[in-house]
Amino acid sequence: MEDVRVALLGCGTVGTQVARLLDEQAADLTARAGAWLHLVGIAVRDAEAPRDPVIVRTLLTTDASGLIASADIVIELIGGIEPARTYILEAFEHGASVVTGNKALLAAHGPELYEAAARADVDLYYEAAVAGAVPVVYGLRESLAGDRITAVLGIVNGTTNYILDEMTTKGLEFDDVLAEAQRLGYAEADPTADVDGFDAAAKCAILASLAFHSRVAMDEVHVEGIRSITASDIAAAARAGYVIKLIASAKRRENGIEATVAPTLIPHSHPLAGVHGPFNAVVIEAEAADRLMFYGRGAGGAPTASAVLSDVVAAASHIVEGGHAPRELIYADLPVLPLEECTARYQVEVAVDDTVGVLTEVSGIFAHHGVSISAVAQDHEKIIQGEKDHPGRAVCHLTVTTHAAMHADLLATITQLEDSQYVAGIKRVIRVEEA
């Protein structure tokens, strides 16, 4: 049986699990790939650092370039941009296929890597780059290749989903849950990439590119994180029949692609509403297949290693039997729309004077800017005498839910509301997803 040489770059949590599974499941993986997957080395920065006992220390090397030159398949699990980008390009130059879970690199340099792989006539696989063990990349690249995708919506960051879920179920504030998430290892010491939406944005760019056969860069995704979400926001959403989730959304419009990451009101009837804790889920809407949902563990050593090894088996099979992974298809070349041209439903909570004529004033402002109102609710329990910022003023809260509106029109509406003599302040503006 043919021997396929595998080089592993990186020996962190995921890399350790990949090495373990390559050893423990060797017989099964060999049968599926049609070749013995021979781990020839593991490139690390410090070969003397403590390691999990499953790691065979004689495989460790600090010479990544030398290891790459000896491999048929290179697994890149270093993360970041450099030296990961350089190593992947070196692998292609040596005729090796690459399996990576590096979402940041693909979002920033995907086109360069896809083109380099095509020139070298080798494969580039990246199932692990989005949602861990959840096979959504395969679904978009292969299973749905015969359909026209209209939308991809996903909870693709387990840290933020855990935080929002804890806030929802326990009534806690953001800072308290974040601290607990850090203690449990769900959040990094510096949680910026997660809670500010950048991790989800990188994944959104990859999903949008796959779904719509167009190049979408991470910096074209409009991003809003969850730091501003409060326990009162969560409670208000629950009263209205929603949960708040950080949603990566990519939608095909007539004039281009909308790509956003933002806290979003999800109705309880929507499949994403029931995704709890650190789990990930992606809903795909297609013209023929209708709605599909992919759900599972989006992070962690073993789940991510599962996705990596599925790609390794596919790449090895192509080496033995011939064939290639699906190539990047960008024939559609759709533009990514600026935020101002994106459309969505919104919920706007406005503090207004508790007096006659206010509703007419507020609804008139929405109408003036072409923003159609779906529903208006008044929270009678919030009627107070003299809000902190407006002493001596009787104030109540109106919650206005809109039909789909262009973001530029919504911004104009909010600006005029803030200037109205009847408005004490805009308390909350949040996207609303359809059921």
Mean pLDDT of 186-209: 94
CA contacts within 13 A on the Cβ side of 108: 12
Per-residue model confidence (pLDDT) at position 188: 87
Q: Tell whether the model's pLDDT for residue 195 goes beyond 70.
A: yes
Sign (positive or negative) of CA dihedral 288, 290, 296, 301: positive
pLDDT digits (tens, 9 = 90+) for 207-255: 999 999 999 999 999 999 999 999 999 999 999 999 999 999 999 999 9
**Range with lowest mean pLDDT among 1-5, 213-217, 317-321, 339-343:** 1-5
Cα–Cα distance for residue pair 271/386, rounded to 1 Å: 41
pLDDT digits (tens, 9 = 90+) for 359-383: 999 999 999 999 999 999 987 655 5
Per-residue model confidence (pLDDT) at position 383: 52
pLDDT band at 395 (very low <50, low <70, confident <90, very high): confident
Distances (CA, A) of 172 to 164, 169, 197, 231, 277: 9, 8, 20, 6, 14
% of the chain surpassing 90 pLDDT:
84
Residue 324 CA, distance from chain mean position: 27
Over its C-alpha atoms, the chain yields an Rg (Å, rounded) of: 25
Could you list the active site residues?
Answer: 203
Per-residue model confidence (pLDDT) at position 387: 47
Give the chain's domains with CATH numbers.
Answer: 3-132+301-321 (3.40.50.720), 136-297 (3.30.360.10), 341-432 (3.30.70.260)
pLDDT digits (tens, 9 = 90+) for 105-152: 999 999 999 999 999 999 999 999 998 889 999 999 999 999 999 999
Mean pLDDT of 77-88: 96
Cα–Cα distance for residue pair 71/5, rounded to 1 Å: 5
